[in-house]
Amino acid sequence: MKLIVLFFISMTLYAGSMQRCQSYVQEVRKAHSSQFGVDYPYQYGVGQLVQESGCRNVISYDGVGSEGLPQITYRLWQKPLKAKGVNSIKAIPDQLKAQAIIMKSVYKPKYGLWVTYQVYNGGGLVIKEINRAGGENWVKARENCKRGQSCFTYPSGKKECVSNCEINYDYSVQVYKYGEKYASIRSSKFRYW
């Protein structure tokens, strides 16, 4: 019975985030098109918002000050974002523009988009993991992941620690899964896997 209740709660939360995110689809498309061109599969940018915040304008429990729909740590990205005209990420249109700018800055054309999303989420270590694996292969790169843990303390006082490998490698899978719900743009220039 407990499992059924948990499943129902998670499906209800997921449905709510899908509805919230739907209202941002066109803004995400516009922001990503301005950085990558019109053939960019923007649906993964929407999937990223689902993964990051459930499309809620919140401050994260990550301890580093990530905020907004795309969970950006502005103090880390302030200089390149200001250079592109994003002086704040308090407003949602600025958050979505910043998301696209950051994605463009970490984009690695020789790799699939899954790598770019993982770099956005967990930094450039994924490139080292791919190199150790002998090539771009999600499974082999995951097997070569050697990272520590991240611990989060919630307002309730509950503390949770999770493997950084699990966080980062699940991230690209979730972004793909969620993104597929919003569009089906395919581009040979921007392959995901």
Q: How many residues can be counted in the chain?
A: 193
**188 occurs within a structural domain:** no
**150 occurs within a structural domain:** yes
Q: What angle do CA 157, 158, 162 make, to 5 degrees?
A: 135
Cα–Cα separations (whole angstroms), residue 135 to 79, 114, 122, 142:
33, 14, 19, 12
pLDDT above 90 covers what percent of the chain? 79
Domain that holds residue 22: 2-179
Task: Name the strand (E) or helix (H) holding 143.
Answer: helix 138-143
Q: 14: pLDDT confidence band, cut at 50, 70 and 90?
A: low
Residue 115 structure tokens: 């790598």
**67 occurs within a structural domain:** yes
Q: Indicate which CATH number applies to the domain containing 100.
A: 1.10.530.10
Number of compact structural domains in the chain: 1
Cα–Cα separations (whole angstroms), residue 97 to 17, 31, 92, 119, 177:
20, 5, 9, 18, 22
Residue 72 φ then ψ, to 5°: -95, 135
Rounded Cα gap, residues 178 and 180, in angstroms: 5
pTM given for the model: 0.86
**101 occurs within a structural domain:** yes
pLDDT single digits (tens) 106-149: 999 999 999 999 999 999 999 999 999 999 999 999 999 999 99
* pLDDT of 164 strictly over 60: yes
**74 occurs within a structural domain:** yes
**185 occurs within a structural domain:** no
Q: 153: pLDDT confidence band, cut at 50, 70 and 90?
A: confident
